[in-house]
Amino acid sequence: MSEFLLLRRVPAARLQRVTIQESSPFPQDAAQAGIQDSRALAAMHSRRNTFRTWDLPREAMSKIPREWRIQTGLTQQVPGDLAPFVEWFNKQPEARERFRWALRDSLDELLDGQRTGRWAYQHLTKTEKTYLGTAVEVNLTKEFDIANGEDLDWSIAGLDIDCKFSKDLGGWEIPMEMYLCADHGKRGGHTNHAAVVTWMNDDTSEWAAGIVRITDERLRWKKELDANGDRVRAYNRDNKRKLSDRAKSEVYWLWGGLQTDLPTNLLRHLDPEARERILTASLPRRPSSGQQRLNQLFREVQDRIVGRQTVLTVGQQDDSPKRARGAREHLRPEGIVVLGHQGSHPHAARALELPVPIKGEWISTRLVPVSRDDARPKFSLDGQFWARACGNEPTNPAPDLPDSRKIDGPMD
Amino acid sequence: MSEFLLLRRVPAARLQRVTIQESSPFPQDAAQAGIQDSRALAAMHSRRNTFRTWDLPREAMSKIPREWRIQTGLTQQVPGDLAPFVEWFNKQPEARERFRWALRDSLDELLDGQRTGRWAYQHLTKTEKTYLGTAVEVNLTKEFDIANGEDLDWSIAGLDIDCKFSKDLGGWEIPMEMYLCADHGKRGGHTNHAAVVTWMNDDTSEWAAGIVRITDERLRWKKELDANGDRVRAYNRDNKRKLSDRAKSEVYWLWGGLQTDLPTNLLRHLDPEARERILTASLPRRPSSGQQRLNQLFREVQDRIVGRQTVLTVGQQDDSPKRARGAREHLRPEGIVVLGHQGSHPHAARALELPVPIKGEWISTRLVPVSRDDARPKFSLDGQFWARACGNEPTNPAPDLPDSRKIDGPMD
């Protein structure tokens, strides 16, 4: 142990909370203490990072009016005026994959599980919910590197188009500047613009994206006529209107309509008792700890991909991915391996016929030693074969899989 | 090296990009490949995490109309109706510290430097800029654990109050539901509500927070009267109105008015050439790397706190804090120590009379060996004294400061 000696005493008040004196109108604080750019004083009292748990929501995230129900696998004609947009999306590599992850990430960013522990849309505040549409637009813009439009959010294939999100299918709110209307004068749009309309429902892992040309006729009108017998436009408080129910048939749905594979919100869809065991995991007579919660996560959730977001939410601390690696050591005596993206891990996942994790993904599984002629998918390490355990096969400590990149003799 | 052998060949297509067949109306993808919850396919094409650099903005972040200029150190009478709110803020421990960090964090979250490399408000898209107010409200709500109001955002001291942010001093937009107005009928508020009005300018590190009771009179009216000679309310497109210039004197400013210590946006305020050297740092004939950029950061920015946000933005990768620790090894031969929050580091910082980093903060400084009777603040390690280098003292490799928690004989 090195000898370490401090030679100057520093006033003890330097980092302590300074008492506010009645005689001073303004509190002493970090600026006066010379640590203006340190979070030290704020961090002592911040409630932003307190660990807490959340309940399973009782109300649904999405409304799906009967008139707006859509099917999977639709084959629609592409309307000529929408063809440039549809072709553009079709040309983007893995567009559907990137679209569904942009939706997933938008909700996850708002949930901010690492700091808040939240894992469902319904845990958001009213104000945060209103921002989900913006987050979706921002992430799609980045994901597909879409340029700004002249008048609208985006320019796609050289044409202006807006991006609209609603958690309710058919609930998109269309502002005046998107369409021509004799009555709006200068406040209206230059032309009838197109919109990308998107929707997701994390309760059912469904989502959809469509393209529609907005017109005055395709938006809502009130049921009652005015005193002169004329139709009246149905505006909300912000002078926006929703699509009329009949306009549904004018929407061209990308990728055949209803999509059923929003990346799974693992904690949201977990068995409630398993979720409870994970989120309250602790050592005997100790408060819940991030490491114990992550150990329990990889005990309860086996043979499927666990993403970074789930790990951050369960850990609720800055270095949760490190704790995921820690779980590897803790679970080995129980026969469980936690495979990541490095070294022999992807090879092992592939050999076991499990999904293969990439960076920021993990998959755990329980292994048992098997004989060379065992029929299961297996791999060998130092002459011993290993396969995934079936049901009640007895526990056997799992092998320490090399996570350096050098492996002898992988056959793939 | 262990022997590692895979016994089952897995179809090679499993993780490769699947070609979209003309005959199939919908692309094969992750769902079909059995890796629905892996980001593998999306990650191959995502443009969201590409490293890029940004220019110093030419336009200002904030407008400060002459009528809304405010001073520091004001001593105002607290209006009786606002006293419960003011007292509540005064009762919160370190409220001013937590308020300024909530503002800082709100802008930093939107900048999302880790993923985008952005370091100035002006780098945000139009849509993101509109969200800054929401982010501020969300963070203040979490920071002070404020309950929802009956009609408005917040309930403070049992009373409804709204939170309004504007990047322009005096630019807050007030909706109808906040005040009484004979002309609004049902669309108006139940009463004249109070608002917390907040502002920040990252160009000048200034900010302010005030409390004001909203009334119809205190909001803007048009200069021109209508045909009947009546005054006309000045609404924007969303039926919101700003405070009139005269209403400025009705605002009670928390903490004495203008605050000049928004936590420094380090990259924004750095010498442009130093910033350029940091953000383009690379090994000879190699592309810029996160490790090289962080090494350069701690070379250029010495003797002041470097926060997590700066490290994430400079690193632009998931494990930037690890690279900050890596910089420690790289810079030791140059005599530079990078002090963190663990082990002997805070003690060393205190002994050297530097600000003391907490978790997620670092401070670098160049050390030289000195004699026992050197007058500078110093510490000793294994019998050698060390102090901060003055100007051109010759380079000497820095000591390896123990970062375990066990240290012999710190005197504080």
**Cα dist from B407 to A48, A350, B49, B347, B367, whole Å:** 32, 47, 41, 10, 20
Region A298-309: mean pLDDT is 94
Between residues B7 and B387, the one the model is more confident about? B387
Per the rule left: phi > 0, alpha: psi between -120 and 50, beta: everything else, A102 is alpha
In the predicted structure, residue B250 carries a pLDDT above the cut 70: yes
Range in A194-208, B307-321, B365-379 with the lowest mean pLDDT: B307-321
Distance of CA B238 to the CA centre of its chain: 29
Each residue's pLDDT tens digit, B13-61: 343 333 333 344 454 566 666 677 888 888 877 766 666 789 999 999 9
Neighbours of A150 (CB within 10 A): 8
Q: Which of A18, A44, A50, A94 to mutate to test the interface with B (most CBs of B within 10 A)?
A: A94
Distance from the Cα of A200 to chain B's closest Cα (Å) equals 16
Tokens standing for B20?
């979209």
Between residues B282 and B209, the one the model is more confident about? B209
Report yes or no: B359 at the A interface, CB cutoff 8 Å: yes
In the predicted structure, residue B4 carries a pLDDT above the cut 90: no
Q: What is the DSSP secondary structure assignment for residue A140, as one 8-state letter? A: H
Report yes or no: B91 at the A interface, CB cutoff 8 Å: no
Each residue's pLDDT tens digit, B102-123: 999 999 999 989 888 999 999 9
H-run or E-run covering B283: none
CA distance A230 to A46: 57
Give the model's confidence band at B321: pLDDT under 50 very low, under 70 low, under 90 confident, else very high.
confident
CB A289 within 8 A of CB A282: yes
Neighbours of B180 (CB within 10 A): 15
- What integer pLDDT is reported at residue B43 of this predicted model? 81
In the predicted structure, residue B1 carries a pLDDT above the cut 50: no
**Cα dist from A226 to A182, A217, A223, A230, A243, whole Å:** 17, 17, 10, 5, 21
Region B222-227: mean pLDDT is 91
In the predicted structure, residue A2 carries a pLDDT above the cut 60: no
Give me the interface pTM, i.e. the ipTM. 0.70
Report yes or no: B311 at the A interface, CB cutoff 8 Å: no
CA-based nearest residue to B141, from B162, B171, B170? B162
Q: B241 - beta bridge partners?
A: B174
CB A188 within 8 A of CB A195: no
Residues contacting A191, CB < 8 A, separation 6+: A180
Tokens standing for A267?
């904690």
Report yes or no: A380 at the B interface, CB cutoff 8 Å: yes
Region B146-161: mean pLDDT is 92
Between residues A182 and A65, the one the model is more confident about? A65
- What integer pLDDT is reported at residue A16 of this predicted model? 36
Q: Where are the alpha helices (DSSP H) in B307-354?
A: 308-315, 320-331, 345-351
CB A199 within 8 A of CB A165: yes
Region B86-100: mean pLDDT is 95
Q: Following CA atoms A139, A144, A148, A151 in sequence, which dihedral angle do they give, to the nearest 10 degrees? A: -90
Give the CA count within 13 Å in the CB-facing half-sphere of A293.
23
In the predicted structure, residue B383 carries a pLDDT above the cut 50: yes
* Averaged confidence pLDDT in chain B: 87
In the predicted structure, residue A15 carries a pLDDT above the cut 50: no
Instruction: Show which of residues 96-125 on chain B sit within 8 Å of chain A, judged by CB atoms.
Output: 96-98, 100-102, 115-116, 125
Pairing of strands A378-381, B4-6: antiparallel
Q: Which residues on chain B are in Cβ contact (under 8 Å) with A43?
A: 358-359
Tokens standing for B239?
């039926």
CA distance B157 to A405: 59
Each residue's pLDDT tens digit, A257-275: 999 999 999 999 999 999 9
CB A305 within 8 A of CB B37: yes
In the predicted structure, residue B378 carries a pLDDT above the cut 60: yes
Burial B23-60 (b: 16+ CB within 10 A, else e): eeebbebbbebebbbbbbbbbeebebeeeeebeeeeee
Give the CA count within 13 Å in the CB-facing half-sphere of B380.
15
Range in A163-177, A226-240, A241-255, B396-410 with the lowest mean pLDDT: B396-410
- What integer pLDDT is reported at residue A28 of this predicted model? 54
B266: nearest CA partner in chain A: A37
Each residue's pLDDT tens digit, B174-217: 999 899 988 777 777 889 999 999 999 999 999 999 999 999 99
- What integer pLDDT is reported at residue B23 of this predicted model? 41
Tokens standing for B171?
């630019």
Give the model's confidence band at B64: pLDDT under 50 very low, under 70 low, under 90 confident, else very high.
very high
Q: Contact B377/A92, CB-based, under 8 Å?
A: no
Instruction: Show which of residues 176-195 on chain A sit within 8 Å of chain B, judged by CB atoms.
Output: 187
Q: Which residues on chain B are in Cβ contact (under 8 Å) with A239?
A: 237-238
Region A170-183: mean pLDDT is 91
**Cα dist from A77 to A80, A81, A86, A215, whole Å:** 9, 12, 11, 19
Q: Which of A9, A14, A48 to mutate to test the interface with B (most CBs of B within 10 A)?
A: A48
Q: What angle do CA B294, B299, B303 make, to 5 degrees?
A: 110
Instruction: Show which of residues 155-174 on chain A sit within 8 Å of chain B, judged by CB atoms.
Output: none
Identity of the residue in B3, B9, B94 whose CB atom sits nearest the CB atom of A381 = B3
In the predicted structure, residue B171 carries a pLDDT above the cut 80: yes
Give the model's confidence band at B305: pLDDT under 50 very low, under 70 low, under 90 confident, else very high.
very high
